[in-house]
Amino acid sequence: ETGVTQTPRHLVMGMTNKKSLKCEQHLGHNAMYWYKQSAKKPLELMFVYNFKEQTENNSVPSRFSPECPNSSHLFLHLHTLQPEDSALYLCASSPHTTSGGLGQYFGPGTRLTVT
């Protein structure tokens, strides 16, 4: 496996379910991200992890719970979601750098539908 992988690719869940999204990066990066992409909205940054530590939480509802056990893996735990949470959830990673400039690498995304 190369790059950034995400599983599952598609997920349908009820509002009372609990599920988790998984992301794995094989690039040796130290930062990982969760984004939400909804129709008619710009890409929204949800969470940022640097060296396994959460450094950003952009006012995301508590029904989304991230977990980063190591620099290569990132999870997004979901519970009691709402239909408006239906979206494409993208994971990304980037190398740690104090000078920036290398950008982020994205996974294929998980298409989530909440019924």
Number of residues that bind another protein (CB under 8 A): 27
The structure tokens listed for 1 are 């496996």
Q: Provide the mask over 84-113, with x wherever binding to another protein is found by CB under 8 A and - wherever it is not.
A: ------x---xxxxxxxxxxxxxxxx-x--
> Strands 10-13, 18-25: parallel, antiparallel or unpaired by DSSP?
unpaired
Q: Provide the mask over 30-69, with x wherever binding to another protein is found by CB under 8 A and - wherever it is not.
A: -x---------xxx-x--x-x----xx-------------
- Residue 110 pairs in a beta bridge with 89
- Residue 111 pairs in a beta bridge with 10, 88
How many Cβ atoms from other residues are within 10 Å of residue 53's Cβ?
8
Q: Is 21 in the site for another protein (CB under 8 A)?
A: no
Applying CB under 8 A, which residues contact another protein? 31, 41-43, 45, 48, 50, 55-56, 90, 94-109, 111
